[in-house]
Amino acid sequence: MSDLIATLNLPDDLKNLSVAQLEQVGSEVRQYMVQTVADNGGHLAASLGVVELTVALHSIYNSPEDKIIWDVGHQSYPHKLLTGRWDRFPTLRRRAGLCGFPKPSESEHDPFLTGHSSTSISAALGLALARDLKGDGNKVVAVIGDGAMTGGMAFEALNHAGHIKANVMVILNDNKMSISSNVGSMSSYLSRIRSDPKYSRLKKDFETFVNKVPLVGKKLINSTERLKSSLKYLVMPGIIFEELGFTYFGPVDGHNISALRSILKQANKMSGPVFVHVVTEKGKGYHYAEKSPEIFHGIGPFDLNNGLPKKNKKTPTYTDVFGQALLGLAYEHSNIVALTAAMTAGTGLKKFSETYPDRFYDVGIAEQHGVTLATALAAGGMRPVFAVYSTFLQRAYDQILHDTCLQKLPVIFAVDRAGIVGEDGETHQGLFDLSYLRSMPNMSIMAPANEVELQDMLKAAINYKDGPVAIRYPRDKGLGLEVSEDTNLKWGRGELVKSGENLLIIAAGTTVNAALAAAEKLFWQGYKTAVINARFVKPLDEELILKWAEKTEKVITVEENILAGGFGSAVMELFERKGLNYPLKRLGVGDCFVGHGTRSEMLACCNLDADGIFREAISFVDRTSAKGVT
């Protein structure tokens, strides 16, 4: 443990330290965090940016009685370190170790789970209202980034909190960055407040002026409402938040502990909703993260001395292949437009955004708006491709159903990070999309088994005009195949990739590869196993499935999705519709949330790797009377 921190009982002792000692705590936290993330990977830049803010907060508030809610929660590492998780910090994001996001089951200092953006103000408001109903006196603080402020939910909550004059504090951590540079008119507005010293000076002058005006002058100003508001508009920073019912404080330098403490103390004295605007630098204190905050937003293990990733990425990921394929298709089809909800790099759209800036939209962290916007672009004759992580698309369930599917408009959803995502854990797993998309009429769903199929599926989707299409693929490297080759992909058709007579495995997406490896092992146990690559989850290739099910009379389905309503359910529904009683075993994720660990560890944990499928298959064929087992 570091020198000063080793002597402290945290977080309580922070209240007895001088500002210089608090700064020392900050630098010890910062150093430990950089070292640990260099080993484990994680969200470094955002956490580096809030070190002083976190120290200041814990030097004033009494956690866990006072509640601090970190929006998204990727910046909560300093909070974790100051609230009893110092020793366990090296287990960050590792299986059975500390979670990368706030988690009430991990600590009483995490009053509410976060992971998806823009929820903190609603959560803080709810906790504040519960406090008031119980008659408790604790404080509730939401810390939200300027990126997360682009999410509609944040405004819904501000609107409500201001209206009911709730006693709640919102701290805006304004670093100009979402994952990439922030977008939108709110961001430009914050920029103006931040960068124009005139605003802060004028605010002070205005207040002094009003206080000094003799009674007559005050009356004059008060009675002239129009004049008052126009003056206010001219000189007050944060007027938008004031108009929403909040008392605005700031902007304040988020790396100056003394200034932070004094503004927080002032804000604490107010009753009703307060809004504290804190300006920080993402990546602060680690040279490479300051220089490239986007790269250090979420990073794998890296070399401390040069900031370079430890693993050299040779084989392209599914994301890379998607980005490259879309770029080629956009060249051929001038009506293709691409959309992202604040994930340009993460979804592989960086090159597209640079090559076709007029055909690219970063809507901010606004998946719901993104879906309806894409749908309307389709209604207007464009071919929109919305690239989005499976977990975040959940936000837009109703927009997909009500706007896209009901109108049968040809929007393409490139559903990235579908399936097990690994270290980000349960808030980020992409395990629900097959179920929620499959239940929607007019939706087609494809899942590639490899990167060549992904490229072909995207082509097929662009050429399909009859309704929305989702292509879901995992957070993983491809198989290293030559992507310029075409496959024999046909709309609505799967592919038999291995014939066999004792057992049929039908797999969706990249589980096909694990299924093939399991089939190989089953062969040595005497089971000749057929394997179908479903390719289409909707519409199903019924003909192919029924033909091989009839031959083998035992069927296993495999998918990286929850079992309820997923791919296996589609096969089960097919058999039920046809009145067939083949023994059927569905492999996927049961009725539970999957935690964090590497992708391969968690796949193994869910029996979705080759060994797991093999074990499940053996127990399935043992339980049911095998046909023709040799």
Question: Which one, 297 or 585, has the nearer CB to ligand TPP?
Answer: 297
Q: How far is the CB of 280 from ligand TPP (least distance, A)?
A: 8
Q: Which CB, 184 or 323, lies closer to ligand TPP?
A: 184
Given 11, 41, 97, 147, the residue binding ligand TPP (CB under 6 A): 147
Q: Is 417 in the site for ligand TPP (CB under 6 A)?
A: no
- Position of tokens 């519409």? 539
* CB-nearer residue toward ligand TPP: 51 or 608: 51
Residue by residue, what is the 3-state secondary structure of 64-123? Answer: CCCEEEECCCCCCHHHHHHCCCCCCHHHCCCCCCCCCCCCCCCCCCCCCCCCCCCCHHHH
Determine the interface stretch with ligand TPP among 175-183, 251-259, 353-361, 485-493 (rule: CB under 6 A): 175-183
From 97-105, 173-181, 412-420, 510-518, give the range in contact with ligand TPP by CB under 6 A. 173-181
Q: Is 392 in the site for ligand TPP (CB under 6 A)?
A: yes
The single residue of 131, 395, 438, 472 carrying the catalytic annotation is 395
Applying CB under 6 A, which of residues 30, 79, 93, 282 lies at the interface with ligand TPP? 282
**Would you say 114 or 167 has its CB closer to ligand TPP?**
114
Instruction: Name the DSSP letter for residue 44.
Output: H
CB of 172 to ligand TPP, least distance (A): 9
Nearest 10 degrees: Cα torsion 112, 115, 121, 124: 10
**H-assigned helices in 174-286:** 185-195, 197-212, 215-223, 225-235, 239-243, 257-268
Q: Is 65 a catalytic residue?
A: no
Comparison of 75 and 511: residue with beta carbon closer to ligand TPP: 75
Q: Is 85 a catalytic residue?
A: no
> 102 or 145: whose CB is closer to ligand TPP?
145
Amino acid at 530: A
Total number of residues binding ligand TPP (CB under 6 A)?
24
- HSE, side-chain direction, 13 A CA sphere, residue 386: 32
Describe the crossing of helices 511-524 and 610-623 by its angle, rounded to 10 degrees: 50
The angle at the Cα of 526, spanning 524 to 529, to the nearest 5 degrees, equals 90
To the query of whether residue 475 is one of the catalytic residues in this protein, the response is no
The answer to the question of residue 178 lying near ligand TPP (CB under 6 A) is yes
- 193-209 core/surface letters (b: 16 or more CB in 10 A; e: else): bbeeeebeebbeeeeee
Q: Which of 46, 171, 267, 446 binds ligand TPP (CB under 6 A)?
A: 46
The Cα–Cα gap between 261 and 15 comes to 11
Which CB atom, from 396 or from 532, has the smaller least distance to ligand TPP? 396
Contact between residue 560 and residue 511 where contact means Cβ atoms under 8 Å apart:
yes
CB of 501 to ligand TPP, least distance (A): 47
| Token reading at 203 | 């605010």
**Pick from 52, 66, 110, 146: which binds ligand TPP (CB under 6 A)?**
146
Residue at 60: amino acid letter: I
Q: In residues, how long is the chain?
A: 630
- Which residues share a beta bridge with 523? none
Q: Exactly one of 235, 263, 342, 503 binds ligand TPP (CB under 6 A); which one?
A: 342
The residue annotated as part of the active site, out of 367, 426, 451, 560, is: 367
For residue 339, the surrounding DSSP H or E stretch is: strand 336-340
Q: Does 365 participate in binding ligand TPP (rule CB under 6 A)?
A: yes
Instruction: Give the interface with ligand TPP as residue ranges (CB under 6 A).
Output: 46, 49, 72, 74-75, 116-117, 145-148, 173, 175, 177-179, 282, 341-343, 365, 367, 392, 395
Active site residues: 282, 367, 395
